[in-house]
Structure 1
Amino acid sequence: MTDPRQSDDSRFPDPVYRRTVLAPLFDHARTDHAEGFRRIDRAHLVMLAECGIVEPATAGKIARALQEIDAEVDPGALEYTGEVEDYFFLVEAELKARLGPDTGGWLHTARSRNDIDHTLFKIALKGHLDGMLTQARALLEALIGTAKRESATIIVAYTHGQPAQPTTLGHYLSAAIEVLIRDIERLEAARATCDLCSMGAAAITTSGFPVDRARVAHLLGFAAPQRNSYSCIAAVDYTTGAYSAVELLFLHLGRLIQDLQFWSAFEVGQIYVPNAFVQISSIMPQKRNPVPIEHMRHLSSQTVGRARMMKDIMHNTPFTDMNDSEGESQAAGYSAFASGGRVLDLLAAFMGALKVDGARVEANIRRSCITITELADTLVRREGLSFRQAHEIAAATARDVVARGADLPSGYAAFSAAFEEATARAPELDEAAFREAASPEHFVAVRTRYGGPAPEPMAEALAAYEAALGGFARAASDRTDREAAAAAELDKKFSELLEVR
Structure 2
Amino acid sequence: MTGISDAPDPAATDGREAGVDTGRLRTGLDPRAHRIVYDQYRPDGDDPVGGELRLISEVDRAHLVMLTERGIVDTARSGALLDTVDALRADDFAPVRDRPMPRGLYLAYEGWLVDRLGQRTGGVLHTGRSRNDLNATTVRLKVRGPYAELLDEVSALTRVLLEKGEAHQDVTMPAYTHGQPAVPISYGHYLTGTAGAVLRSLEGLLDAGREIDVNPLGAGAVGGTSVPVDPARTAELLGFTATAPNSVDAVASRDFVLRILSSAAVLGVLLARVARDLTWWTTEEFGLLRMADDLVGSSSMMPQKRNPFLLEHIQGRSTSALAGFTGAAASMSTAGYTNAIAVGTEAVRHLWPALADTTQAVTLLRLVVAGAQPNQERMRERAREGLTSATYLAERLVVDGTPFRTAHHVVGETVLTALDSGTPLSDAARAHPAVAPTAADYPADWLAPETVAGACAHGGGPGSPAQKAALTRAHTELGRLTAQSGARRARWADAADRLDNAVAKVVADR
TM-score band w.r.t. shorter chain: 0.7 to 0.9
For residues 378-417 of structure 1, the aligned pairs below 5 Å read: 378-381=396-399, 383-416=400-433
Provide the rounded CA distance (Å) in 2 between the counterparts of 1:448 and 1:121.
49
CA drift at 1:303: 4.3
Percent same amino acid at aligned positions? 30
CA drift at 1:288: 2.4
Provide the rounded CA distance (Å) in 1 between the counterparts of 2:89 and 2:438.
87
**Aligned in 2, Cα 1:329/1:288: closer, same or farther, shift over 3 Å?**
same
Aligned to 2:476: 467
Provide the rounded CA distance (Å) in 2 between the counterparts of 1:75 and 1:178.
48
Q: Higher helix share goes to which structure?
A: 1
User: Which 4+ runs in 1 deviate beyond 4 A?
Assistant: none
**Aligned in 2, Cα 1:68/1:366: closer, same or farther, shift over 3 Å?**
closer
Provide the secondary structure at the position in 2 that maps to 1:136.
helix
Aligned to 1:10: none
The answer as to whether partners of 1:37 and 1:120 remain within 8 angstroms in 2 is: yes
- 1:487 correspondence with 2:504: no
Provide the secondary structure at the position in 2 that maps to 1:279.
coil
Q: Which amino acid aligns with 1:401?
A: A
What runs of 5+ residues in structure 1 fail to find an aligned partner?
A: 1-26, 420-425
Q: Which amino acid aligns with 2:330?
A: D
Aligned to 1:59: 78
CA drift at 1:436: 3.5
- 1:45 correspondence with 2:70: no
Aligned to 1:377: 395
Q: Which amino acid aligns with 1:246?
A: A
Match of 1:345 among 358, 363, 366: 363
Match of 2:467 among 423, 447, 458: 458
Q: Which amino acid aligns with 2:423?
A: A
Aligned to 1:422: none
Provide the secondary structure at the position in 2 that maps to 1:164.
strand
Q: Is the deviation greater in 104-113 or in 58-67?
A: 58-67
Q: Which amino acid aligns with 2:59?
A: I
Q: Which amino acid aligns with 2:61?
A: R
C-alpha offsets along residues 291-317 of structure 1, whole Å, 9 cap, x if unaligned?
A: 121122112234432343223322342
TM-score of the superposed pair, with normalisation by structure 1: 0.88
Provide the rounded CA distance (Å) in 2 between the counterparts of 1:254 and 1:39.
38
Provide the secondary structure at the position in 1 that maps to 2:221.
coil
Match of 2:128 among 110, 121, 141: 110
**Aligned in 2, Cα 1:412/1:481: closer, same or farther, shift over 3 Å?**
closer
**Aligned in 2, Cα 1:149/1:76: closer, same or farther, shift over 3 Å?**
farther
The answer as to whether partners of 2:96 and 2:108 remain within 8 angstroms in 1 is: no
Aligned to 1:78: 97
Provide the rounded CA distance (Å) in 2 between the counterparts of 1:311 and 1:75.
36
Match of 1:255 among 273, 281, 285: 273
Q: Which amino acid aligns with 1:60?
A: G
The answer as to whether partners of 1:279 and 1:288 remain within 8 angstroms in 2 is: yes
Q: Is the deviation greater in 246-255 or in 333-342?
A: 333-342
**Aligned in 2, Cα 1:86/1:428: closer, same or farther, shift over 3 Å?**
closer
TM-score of the superposed pair, with normalisation by structure 2: 0.86
RMSD: 2.1
Provide the rounded CA distance (Å) in 2 between the counterparts of 1:75 and 1:128.
25
Provide the rounded CA distance (Å) in 2 between the counterparts of 1:238 and 1:302.
17
For residues 9-20 of structure 1, the aligned pairs below 5 Å read: none
Provide the secondary structure at the position in 1 that maps to 2:279.
helix
The answer as to whether partners of 2:262 and 2:322 remain within 8 angstroms in 1 is: no
Aligned to 2:509: 500
Provide the secondary structure at the position in 2 that maps to 1:163.
strand
Provide the rounded CA distance (Å) in 2 between the counterparts of 1:229 and 1:397.
72
The answer as to whether partners of 1:271 and 1:355 remain within 8 angstroms in 2 is: yes
Provide the secondary structure at the position in 2 that maps to 1:320.
coil
Aligned to 2:333: 315
Provide the rounded CA distance (Å) in 2 between the counterparts of 1:122 and 1:461.
36
For residues 88-487 of structure 1, the aligned pairs below 5 Å read: 88-327=106-345, 329-381=347-399, 383-416=400-433, 419=435, 427-430=437-440, 433=442, 435-487=444-496
Q: Which amino acid aligns with 2:467?
A: M
CA drift at 1:28: 7.7
The answer as to whether partners of 1:147 and 1:169 remain within 8 angstroms in 2 is: yes
Equivalences, count: 465
